[in-house]
Structure 1
Amino acid sequence: MKKLVVGMLIILSILAGCGSKQDTTNDEIDFLDVDLTINPEKAKLGEEVTFSAKVTYGDEAVEDADEVKFEVWRSQSENHEEIVVKHKENGVYELKKSFSEEGTYYVYAHVTARGMHNMPKKEFVIGQPSEPETEDGSHSMKEQHSDKASSDAHNH
């Protein structure tokens, strides 16, 4: 009985030690964080839209990222524009752009710094929204069904 209690105490102290080591390790690990904002998220044709990526590593503003670029495209288009941007101030990288075609658009902020890559994505609208992309970036179900319906009509 005494050996069982001692054995359990040893196991508990080992588990407790592992837990505390794990906690201090997590405190020391920093990650590359990118806060992507779009202003305004619903703009008019020709109105300037500001894309901002606030880049931090832990509590530190990253002013020397290896690369920051914005990838912008209209929903369901295969034409993606990639624009490299420079640091503005306090870890903020910024792009100002206007659009000549209405619709639903997307932007990725591709950020590489401190040996890491982060690429948040956001949706925005210029004028009237268009058919959004599905989660995997393909065409919507409505289009897939209409294609199927037209092929079914040809088969009958």
Structure 2
Amino acid sequence: MKKILLVLALAFMAGCSSETSGENTANNDTEELKVELDVPSTVQQNEDVLYEATVTYGDEKVKKADTVDFEFKEANSDEEGEMIKAEEEENGIYTIKHRFEKEGTYVVQVHVLAHSQHVMPEKEVKVIGEK
């Protein structure tokens, strides 16, 4: 008799927990964190250039992201790049000014953490020598 009651109690608890998790899934439809990275494809060596990331969550601009850091590194390099914290401008726009001291091809990657999501889009930029 005790075994039957135990099995029924476990079945009841399992049924309740699956209903609860179903409700949580329906209520936790999360929006997607998106980052639009605005990076020129070509820049001049030793020239200050503005890099910009527009951060959205669903249809809303993210005005207080947990972190927005730009990383600058040589293309095809396994080494870590230079990480620089972005300045929050307005309306979900984060910017930084940066200059490259050497010619070459580089990867600019922005690391954004907001709403418990981490997004890291990147773009390539070619640095051409001074005229």
TM-score normalized with structure 1 length: 0.60
Runs of 4+ in 1 over 6 A off after TM superposition: none
Q: What is residue 69 of structure 2 aligned with on the other side?
A: 69
For 2:86, the aligned partner's letter is V
For 1:107, the aligned partner's letter is V
Q: What is the CA deviation profile of residues 31-81 of structure 1, one whole-angstrom value per residue up to 9, with x for unaligned ones? A: 10000011x320111122221110000111101000000111122442510
For 1:31, the aligned partner's letter is E
Offset of 1:120 from its aligned partner? Answer: 0.3
Number of residue pairs the alignment of both structures matches: 101
CA distance in 2 between counterparts of 1:41 and 1:74 reads: 14
Greater share of strand: 2
- Residue 88, structure 1, aligned to residue 95, structure 2: no
Identical residues among aligned pairs (%): 42
* Alignment CA distance shift 1:79-1:113 (3 Å): closer
For 2:66, the aligned partner's letter is D
Q: What is residue 120 of structure 1 aligned with on the other side?
A: 121
CA distance in 2 between counterparts of 1:59 and 1:76 reads: 35
Larger Rg: 1
CA distance in 2 between counterparts of 1:98 and 1:86 reads: 16
The farther-off stretch of 72-81 and 98-107 is 72-81
TM-score normalized with structure 2 length: 0.71
Q: What is residue 45 of structure 1 aligned with on the other side?
A: 45
Greater share of helix: 1
Q: What is residue 16 of structure 2 aligned with on the other side?
A: none
1:1-156 to 2 correspondences below 5 Å: 29-38=30-39, 40-77=40-77, 78-127=79-128
CA distance in 2 between counterparts of 1:79 and 1:117 reads: 18
Q: What is the CA deviation profile of residues 86-119 of structure 1, one whole-angstrom value per residue up to 9, with x for unaligned ones? A: 3111100001111110000001110000111111
CA distance in 2 between counterparts of 1:66 and 1:79 reads: 21
CA distance in 2 between counterparts of 1:76 and 1:30 reads: 33
**More relative contact order, 1 or 2 (CA 8 Å, 6+ apart):** 2
For 1:56, the aligned partner's letter is T
Structure 2: 5+ residue stretches without partners: 1-25
SS at 2:100 equivalent: coil
